[in-house]
Amino acid sequence: MTDQMQGRVLDPQHPCQTPNMNRLIHKGVRFKNAYPANAVCSPSRASLMTGLLPHNHGVLHVIHNVDSDQSCLRDTHPHWAQKLEVAGYKTGYFGKWHVERSNKLEQFGWQVNGTHASELWQQRQKEISVNNPVQQTFSLQRNLDEPPGYRESIFYGVTDLPPEKRNMGVTVSLAEDFLQEKLAADDPWCCFVSLKEPHDPFICDQSAFDLYEVDKITLPPNARDDLHGRPGIYRKAARVWQNFTDQEKREAATCYYASITEIDQLFGKLVDLVETNDESENTIIIITSDHGELLGAHGLYCKNFSASEEIYNIPLVISGPGCAKGIATDARVGLHDLGPSLLELVDCEPIDVPDSRSFASILRDPKSGEHQFTKGFAEYYGGRMILTQRVIWNGSWKFVFNGFDFDELYNLDEDPYEMTNLAEDPTYQEQLTKMTAQMWQVANETNDHSLFNSQYPILRVASVGPLVLNEKW
């Protein structure tokens, strides 16, 4: 699993170079409409582990930026890794965790703890970097110091350290050790490799950067969006990058793509290790990410406020026994659906949760069940800014409830880059009402009490309230 990787980078004509991931696409099923339950790391990752939406597992914000009594993972439901452990699987987790604060992964079903905070990971980092300075040298670098009064920090750069000597290399080396040991044994195993790249700052080494021609990298079609009719906070956030030149934007995108290429190279090493041990036909291999990256779309970078597809469309490719080969499906599945799907694929006891469902049937026969996976739901709580956002997909339609400002309505078939907000257009008021009613339906069915019970007069900011469910749409 990567961090902050757009799903679009795996499109056939995309400039990002991912030969090893493409190899997996040809051997498995690619979900073109996969989405996370939340736009930021911790809530999305907690949803992946539990199968629950954030309002049910309790992690509403990134855990390192709020007080210790906030955004806490509830222990009311078992994680899917615990089900694997009970079934006799040997489990190991390596890299970024960011699900909860204890970092005691053993209590969540992971027997080998190789997270960034673990002694295992930190010792390996010391071994790998013993002959390398901690301070990197950058041949290309753009710092971000806008607006005045905020800490200056690097936003993208080209380093002299190869990926093997950076965090991603440390993580993958531990995963290689785990795989070599488990592949030589008879027990079933599960290896989770979690890289914190290509998360900003976008850092790559020179060799990966040189695979790209910066001048040929194009800006996204919605790069110059004036954000008319969208929430004001989007426009406030866009001011951070208002002084970036087009050349700097292309350099940022190049570093981002090159970082993904580095990930792809390391991913290829792990796949090769499985294949050389003749275990590829017995192994389920997955590529995914916790959320996407704006990368200049609508004049914005990173993630958070915007509910754009650049954030909410993530890579998801699965290959292995029982899976179709070389198929791209339009089925809309959530990252939080992955755990139930894996457990079904390997005939393990399921996790009994109300918010997710297995899509194993799609993996077996992608075309037969697509019509059952046309809807999606995500939620966002604004991080440190505290705001309410819900996202509903239904077929080609996408609705964003912004409790703090304008709602948004898009037809993704006709407007894939979300340039025209139809929420205020009288022509689409019936569609807006239908989508709002679907939001209330999901809130009711998943016990999102804080949203569903917002009957207080000043909180009645939706176009229609939850009692619309008493009507037929």
> For residue 341, which amino acid is it?
S
Q: What topology does CATH give the domain 388-473?
A: Arylsulfatase, C-terminal domain (3.30.1120)
- What are 290-316's pLDDT values in tens digits? 999 999 999 999 999 899 999 999 999
CA distance 12 to 33: 15
Domain with CATH 3.40.720.10 in the chain: 7-373
320: pLDDT strictly greater than 80: yes
CA distances from 301 to 196, 227, 292, 298 (A): 17, 14, 10, 9
Planar angle of CA 286, 291, 296, nearest 5 degrees = 125
- What are 122-139's pLDDT values in tens digits? 999 999 876 555 567 888
CA of residue 245 relative to chain centroid, distance: 28
pLDDT confidence band for 369 (50 / 70 / 90): confident
Beta strands, E only, 308-367 = 316-319, 327-329
Return the percentage of the chain with pLDDT > 70, whole number: 98
Collapse the DSSP code of 343 into the 3-class scheme (helix H, G, I; strand E, B; otherwise coil) and give the result: helix
CA distance 302 to 388: 19
> For residue 173, which amino acid is it?
S
- What are 196-214's pLDDT values in tens digits? 999 999 999 999 999 999 9
Q: What is the pLDDT of residue 116?
A: 97
Return the percentage of the chain with pLDDT > 90, whole number: 87
182: pLDDT strictly greater than 60: yes
Cα dihedral 121, 123, 129, 135, rounded to 10, equals 80
Q: Mean of the pLDDT values across residues 370-385?
A: 91
Q: Per the structure block, which two tokens stand in for 438?
A: 């679907």
Domain with CATH 3.30.1120.10 in the chain: 388-473
This model's pTM is above 0.75: yes
- What are 237-267's pLDDT values in tens digits? 999 999 999 999 999 999 999 999 999 999 9
Q: What is the pLDDT of residue 132?
A: 56
Q: What is the pLDDT of residue 131?
A: 57
Q: What are phi and psi of 375, to 5 degrees?
A: -110, 155
End-to-end CA distance of the chain: 39
- Given a contact cutoff of 8 angstroms between Cβ atoms, the answer to whether 307 and 214 are in contact is no
Q: Mean of the pLDDT values across residues 305-330?
A: 96
Is CATH 3.40.720.10 what the domain over 7-373 is classified as, yes or no? yes
Planar angle of CA 335, 341, 345, nearest 5 degrees = 145
- What are 399-425's pLDDT values in tens digits? 999 999 999 999 999 999 999 999 999
Q: What is the pLDDT of residue 456?
A: 87
385: pLDDT strictly greater than 80: no
Residue 455 or 28, more confident: 28
Q: Mean of the pLDDT values across residues 369-374?
A: 91
102: pLDDT strictly greater than 70: yes
Q: What are phi and psi of 115, to 5 degrees?
A: -75, 165
